[in-house]
Amino acid sequence: MPWDQVKYFGNKEGHGKIFLFDFKHPDEGVRELSVEGDSGLRLFPHGISLWHNKDSGEIFLFVVNHSPSYDCVEKFLYLPKKRALKHIKTYRDPAFRLANDVLATGEDSFYFTNIGYFHSHLGNMLELLPLLPFGNVVYYDGNTYRQVVDNLLTPNGIAMSLDGKYVYLCTSLARDLMIFQREENGNLVLLEEVPLYTSLDNPTVEHATGNILIGTQHVNHKMIAHLENPLVPAASQVLLLKTHGSNVTAVSELYSDDGSSLWGSTVASLYNKSMLIGTVYHKLMYCKVNVL
C-alpha cells in the first residue's frame, strides 16, 4: 500500500464492510449488512456480483476479497429478514492474481477479472508503466478454473446482458468497452470493442432496459494522483450506453464533475430516474436524473 494510503487509512488493522442501499427509501441512507457463518473471515471487498435463484427466491452475493498475500472470491447468502449475509464458501485458486471484479453466472459459477499479473503494489506498478497486457478473464464452471480471455491491458469491471448472451468488459487504460458473445461452455468470443475515450471502471446493466451504465474517470492524471493519495481530488463521470442486441446504439453522459463534488467515480446504478454513484475512497452520491 502506498505511504499516502497508509496515512489516510491509519495503521490499525481493520476489515471491509458491505452495505445495503434501498432506492425506494433513499432517506435511510446505507445500512451495514452483518456477516454470519464464519467468525474468522477477514473481508477486504472489491468487486461484487449478485445471483438470484428465481425458483427458490434465494439471493447469493459473490465478492472479490483481497488479502495481503492472495485474492479470492467469497460467496454469501443474503438474509433479507435479518438484513444480513451468511458466509457460504471461499473460492481460492492460483488463477487469482490481482483480482478486480466478479460476475456471477449461477449459484456455483462465475467470471472474474485479473487487472494485472502481480499481486504486490510494486509489481503492479512495474507492469503498468510500460503498459504490459498481463490481465485476463477467468471462468469458474463449478469444477475448474480456466482462462477465457488473455493479453488484456487493465481489464476492470465485468457485467452480463439481461438475457445472458453477452458479456461486457471495461478496460481502464485501453479505454474500450469490450463486448463478447457468451457460449454455453462459458467461453467468450469477442464481437466488438467500443472506444469511449475515458478511463472505464465498472459497468452495470439497467434491469428495466438492458442499457449499460459505466462509472469512469475522464482525467487520468488526476485519478492516478488520487489513487496514490486519497486526499487529492479526482474527476468523475458516468456514461449511459443504449444497446440493441450486442450493439451499442448511443452514448450519453449522465454525470460529469471536475472533482468539485465527487472524487473518482467507479460505478453507478439507476432505478427509475434515481442514480447512485460510488467512488474509490470518497463517498456515495445519490441524485435524480432528469434527462431520461
Which residues are identified as catalytic? Answer: 46
Q: How far apart are CA 146 and CA 148, in angstroms?
A: 6
Give, in order, the Cα–Cα distances in Å from 99 to each of 62, 78, 117, 257, 266.
13, 23, 9, 28, 16
Side-by-side strand order, sheet with 155-160 = 155-160, 166-171, 176-182, 188-195
The conformation of residue 144, written as its DSSP 8-state character, comes to -
Map grid coordinates 477486504 to a residue. 44
CA distances for 105 relative to 51, 162, 213, angstroms: 7, 11, 19
Q: Which of 257, 263, 253, 266 is nearest to 233 (CA)?
A: 263
58 CB burial (10 A radius; 0-12, 13-18, 19+): middle
CA distances from 152 to 74, 115, 205 (A): 24, 8, 22
3-state helix, strand, coil in the chain (%, to 5): 10, 50, 40
